[in-house]
Structure 1
Amino acid sequence: MDAEHIAIAKTCLEAAHDGSLSFPEIVGRLIGAGFEGYTVDYRANCQTYYLPSGDQVTLPMPVSPGAVEAAFDAEGVERMVRWAQSGAADYTYAGFSEGAKKAGCAGYLVSFSGRRVVYFGRTAETHVEHFPS
């Protein structure tokens, strides 16, 4: 992957964690740069960004407290997503990540062309969220 794409991925990763860009803004920047999606892996503490060509880059994430719980709680994951979508003043990506891990979310796959996010647990249980219209 070229340096420009890596820089965009890094900027979006940092913006998610420092709150300087919202999820829709991050998605817009990544789509604009030609990315087709990304994966967050809470157990490996990294994000991987994908281009349609098959090129990818994996970047380390800031560490968030807590381990991924063994049991997957789809309703708990959905509550975290609704919090993120609410625009609440107390929302942080670190808080989202901590809550998602408590709900047994080991990570998630964001597909721009599929307009969805697939959250998954340690035993491959899933919860799917479609992008709002």
Structure 2
Amino acid sequence: LLYNVQQGSLYVTIKRCAELLGMDKTGFSDPYVKVSLLPLTNKAHRQKTSTKKRTLNPEFNETLTFVIPFKDLPKKTLQIDVFDKDVGKHDDYIGSIILSTSAKAERQKQWNNCIQNPGNEFEQWHKLEVLE
């Protein structure tokens, strides 16, 4: 997670997931990650990674870029959702994490560090939760 003031952009790097649930009959999943900067103000504030086939431990190493004024960042929430891609039907939801100024523990800390220290990258492992 990094905010670049000169470029007016938030960079969200999805490196990997570990020990995901197997959502397919094979016992594996075809995971991808959808990242949303909420509340949505334009379509570019919802992006996703590529899909990784037949794995519970996908390696993404993909950076998603969100153009947003720095002053708006504290009012935003970053929602990261993991899905299992299914052909011809709805994708299966695996879990989520939320980063914001009102998030709990390490999630709030990572978001606040990003806001308070623009230009610095903050990496953190997070455990997925199932959002209702």
TM-score computed with the length of structure 1 as normaliser:
0.28
TM-score computed with the length of structure 2 as normaliser:
0.28
**More helix per residue:** 1
Q: Which has the higher contact order (CA 8 A, sep 6+)?
A: 2
